[in-house]
Amino acid sequence: MAHGTHSLKFLEEKYKGEHNIETISLYLRLLDDTYPGMDVAAHGQWSDIAEYEIADGNGYVAGTGIELTGVTVEAIVAGDTVLKVTATNKSIEASGGSIPASKAAAIINATHTDNTVVAVVEYGATYI
C-alpha cells in the first residue's frame, strides 16, 4: 500500500491554521517516472515539483490535475495512531492515446496562494 509524505511547509501552515483538509480545494497531480522522490523540506509548493508533472493530453489535464471531493479525516487508534484521509474514488479515462507513466501523485491545496504541497504519494512502482 502506498503512503503519503507531508511537506514541512504544509505541516507548518497547518499548525498556523492555514489548511482545513475538509474545506479546501485539493487536487491530485500525477508525477512522471523522473520524479526523484519526496524531499519534505524542498518540495513545499507546487512550483518546486511542477516540472515532474506528466504531460497534458489523452484525458489528463496538466496544471489542473484531478479535483478531490468528499474529503474526510478520521483518527484511527490501533497500535500506532494514524490519521486516515479519504476522498471519493476518481479515475481518468484515456482518450486519443495513453496517459503517460506515473510513479507518484502530489496532493495540492489549490486554495492556498502558494499551491502548497499537502503530500506526495509514491506508489513504489511506475504505472502506465
The pLDDT tens digits for 2-31 are 667 888 999 899 889 888 888 899 999 999
Query: Which amino acid is located at 28 in the chain?
Result: L
In angstroms, rounded to a whole number, what is the distance separating the alpha carbons of residues 11 and 33? 26
How does DSSP classify residue 4?
A: E
Distance from CA of residue 119 to its chain's centroid? 5
Pairing relationship of beta strands 72-78 and 102-109 according to DSSP bridges:
unpaired
Whole-model pTM: value is 0.87
What is the pLDDT confidence band of residue 93, given thresholds at 50, 70 and 90? confident
The mean pLDDT value for 99-112 works out to: 92
